[in-house]
């Protein structure tokens, strides 16, 4: 079976780490710097970073409308941390450009500032589980305040949703690309392969 090509939005954030994780899963990862490159990809990852800056850069570089249209047409997308915020339809506070694609409400910087970053063991539905929890890295992370009826929460931390899925969209408040555990990227790859099989 041909490896899917998954684009990583290369405007800001942990682009290299996502590309390395994709290689480990057997997918082909490419750094996307221009909107035209989206059409070479089967799916998209929007990495962490500063969500307000990413939103402004997506507008300035012509990505916002193009990504919105492709995801609505069925392109799978995975947003980590700031990527979760970008995919959200609503923010608890703040005003910034959003893709507005996923029926979730996000709270930015929900766990505090950069110095409040932490790691936690999570149980995540749908990833291969041999008894190992997923060690999640939270860096100035959001959480999901509310979800719509079509959104499936896959994992929580202290009663707050931190990873969820709606159709071909996946979001996590934490950074799996900063670990050596590729199970969430493999989960996303199965989503991509499922979309290609339809």
The residues pairing with 144 across neighbouring beta strands, listed in sequence order, are 106, 161
Residue of 17, 81, 166, 185 with catalytic role:
81
Query: Is 81 tagged catalytic?
Result: yes
Residue of 177, 185, 193, 196 with catalytic role:
177
How far apart, in whole angstroms, are the C-alpha atoms of residue 134 and residue 65? 34
What ranges in the chain are assigned the alpha helix state H? Answer: 15-25, 51-60, 63-72, 82-87, 183-196
Q: Which H or E run includes 157? A: strand 152-157
Query: Is 166 tagged catalytic?
Result: no
Query: Is 175 tagged catalytic?
Result: yes
Q: Which H or E run includes 45? A: strand 43-46
Q: How many residues does the chain have?
A: 198
Buried-state track 38-67, b at ≥16 Cβ within 10 A, e below 16 = beebbbbbbbbbbbeebbebbeeeebbebb
Residue of 18, 41, 175, 185 with catalytic role:
175
Show which residues are catalytic: 81, 175, 177
């Amino acid at each position: 079976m041909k490896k899917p090509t998954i684009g990583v939005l290369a405007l800001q954030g942990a682009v290299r780490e996502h590309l390395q994780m994709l290689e480990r899963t057997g997918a082909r990862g490419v750094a996307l710097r221009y909107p035209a490159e989206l059409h070479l990809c089967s799916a998209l990852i929007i990495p962490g970073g500063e969500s307000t800056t990413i939103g402004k850069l997506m507008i300035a570089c012509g990505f916002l409308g193009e990504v919105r249209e492709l995801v609505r047409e069925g392109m799978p997308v995975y947003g980590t941390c700031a990527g979760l915020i970008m995919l959200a339809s609503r923010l608890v506070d703040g005003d910034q450009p959003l893709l507005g694609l996923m029926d979730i409400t996000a709270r930015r910087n929900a766990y505090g500032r950069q110095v409040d970053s932490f790691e936690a063991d999570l149980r995540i539905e749908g990833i291969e589980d041999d008894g190992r929890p997923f060690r999640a890295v939270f860096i100035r992370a959001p959480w999901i305040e509310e979800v719509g009826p079509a959104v499936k929460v896959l994992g929580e931390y202290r009663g707050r949703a931190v990873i969820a899925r709606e159709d071909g969209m996946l979001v996590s408040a934490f950074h799996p690309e900063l670990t050596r555990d590729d199970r969430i990227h493999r989960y996303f790859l199965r989503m991509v392969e499922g979309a290609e099989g339809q």
